[in-house]
Amino acid sequence: QVQLVESGGGLVQAGGSLRLSCAASGRTFSLYTMGWFRQPPGKEREFVTAIHRSSSNTYYADSVKGRFTISRDNAKNTVYLQMNNLKPEDTAVYYCATSPGGLPIRSSEYRYWGQGTQVTVSS
């Protein structure tokens, strides 16, 4: 069992930045691929980015490429999402999740999920 807790969300103006954190419990954090998803209001949950357990590989949705950066610190059991040049369309609840491996983009391939943190970008 892995418990995930996201933090760092909030209200920011367009063009601003936020850094989300996702802290994981347990000793197996370093074995998992970690992903970030988001769910905009009234829409389905969508893939944002993922990072391999060794940080050797990452993958980004086209909509955030060049603006968002995922990283992880296995010693702290934490994965981060640095979000720059935020746009109103980035407004969503952001979730972190664990996957056994690879860099999957489907939510069905992620097992453990956090409760989410709200990000609101004003225009």
Q: How does residue 123 score in pLDDT terms, banded at 50, 70 and 90?
A: very high
Per residue in 76-89, pLDDT tens?
999 999 999 999 99
- Share above pLDDT 70 across residues of the chain, in percent, rounded to a whole number: 100
pLDDT of the residue at 56: 84
Residue 67 β-bridge partners: none
Average pLDDT over residues 23-42: 94
pLDDT of the residue at 19: 98
Q: How does residue 24 score in pLDDT terms, banded at 50, 70 and 90?
A: very high
With vertex at residue 1, the alpha carbon angle to CA 117 and CA 22, rounded to the nearest 5 degrees, is 25
Provide DSSP, 71-114. Answer: EEETTTTEEEEEE-S--GGG-EEEEEEEESSS---SGGG---B-
Question: What is d(CA 72, CA 98) in angstroms, rounded to the nearest whole number?
Answer: 12
